[in-house]
Amino acid sequence: MTIIVHHLENSRSQRVLWLLEELGLPYEVRRYERDPKTMLAPPALARVHPLGKAPVIVDSDADDRVVAETGAILEYLVEKGDGRLGAPAHHESALRYRHFLHYAEGSLMPPLLVKLVLGRVPMFGKTAQKRFQPMIDVHLDYVEAELASHPWFAGDAMTAADIMMSFPLEVARHRAGLDARRPATIRWLETIHARPAYQAALAAGGHYAYA
């Protein structure tokens, strides 16, 4: 009985492995490589889920239920883990938890993706990236202010909201201007990267360029 994680290199699915390690739930990794020219996921993923993207999990404990979308997967796994790393009991912390659980993909990740796409546009892409960077900086400044006042996104303890926020902030560190000018965010990244469960997830998932 285990969770099968269909895991794509350098992708959002690294967060699923990390949460599984934190919760101590048994899992198996089925790893996929990106197309070296297009950097897209391989067609094989479409045989697991119609969208052909990662992450996707298959739960053998639930008649091979297929769950897609990172946020939905994290909520599903928190439930399987008896609520550990889920919403805190304190009302305000629970609101912060829900906010950042959705903010990661709903607000922070879209401009980072636009920056990536612009970087692949010949001739005018770099100029457009520079004009677009202030929009990203608004988000990075917001995150910095939050982490300067709280050690974790939901408050005083790590939750799945931190796991959800890890990928966009790692991407921002890699290619979108997150550096030592925002020390609280860098400190948070260093803290999560040092966690034994994070390191175990890296070992399980293979090369991950954003750690």
User: Which pLDDT band holds residue 115 (cuts at 50, 70, 90)?
Assistant: confident
pLDDT at position 125 over 70: no
Q: Which is nearest to 165 in space by CA: 180, 152, 182, 151?
A: 152
The answer to whether the CB of 200 falls within 8 A of the CB of 21 is yes
pLDDT the model gives residue 35: 85
Complete edge-to-edge strand list for the sheet that includes strand 65-68: 27-32, 3-8, 56-59, 65-68
The answer to whether the CB of 14 falls within 8 A of the CB of 71 is no
pLDDT at position 93 over 70: yes
pLDDT the model gives residue 134: 93
Query: Rounded to the nearest 10 degrees, how much is the dihedral formed by the CA atoms of 12, 47, 203, 102?
Result: 20
Q: Which is nearest to 160 in space by CA: 105, 108, 210, 86?
A: 86
Q: What are the φ/ψ torsions at residue 150 (nearest 5 degrees)?
A: -140, 140
What predicted TM-score, i.e. pTM, was given to this entire model? 0.94
Residue 118 token pair: 């612009």
pLDDT at position 132 over 90: no
Single-letter residue type at 187: R
pLDDT the model gives residue 211: 81
pLDDT the model gives residue 123: 66
CATH class of this structure's domain 91-195: mainly alpha
User: Which pLDDT band holds residue 120 (cuts at 50, 70, 90)?
Assistant: confident
Angle subtended by helix axes 183-193 and 160-175, to nearest 10: 120
DSSP annotation of 62: G
pLDDT tens string 38-69: 888 889 999 999 999 999 999 999 999 999 99
pLDDT the model gives residue 138: 97
The residue extents of the domains of the chain are 3-85+197-205, 91-195
pLDDT the model gives residue 56: 96
* Fold topology of 3-85+197-205: Glutaredoxin (3.40.30)
Asked if omega into 55 is within 30° of 0 (cis), the reply is yes
pLDDT at position 124 over 70: no
pLDDT the model gives residue 200: 98
Geometric angle at alpha carbon 57, from 172 and 208, rounded to 5°? 35
Residue 26 token pair: 């048994």
Per-residue burial over 174-194, b if 16 or more Cβ lie within 10 Å, else e, is: eebebeeebebbbebbeebee
| DSSP-derived 3-state class of residue 59 | strand
User: Which pLDDT band holds residue 131 (cuts at 50, 70, 90)?
Assistant: confident
Residue 180 token pair: 């030592």
| DSSP-derived 3-state class of residue 3 | strand
The residue that leads in pLDDT, 156 or 129, is 156
Same fold for the pair 3-85+197-205 and 91-195: no
pLDDT tens string 9-39: 889 999 999 999 999 999 999 999 888 888 8
Name the one residue in this structure whose structure tokens are 């699915």: 13
pLDDT at position 109 over 80: yes
pLDDT tens string 178-207: 999 999 999 999 999 999 999 999 999 998
pLDDT at position 177 over 80: yes
How far is the first Cα of the chain from the last one, in angstroms, to the nearest whole number? 30
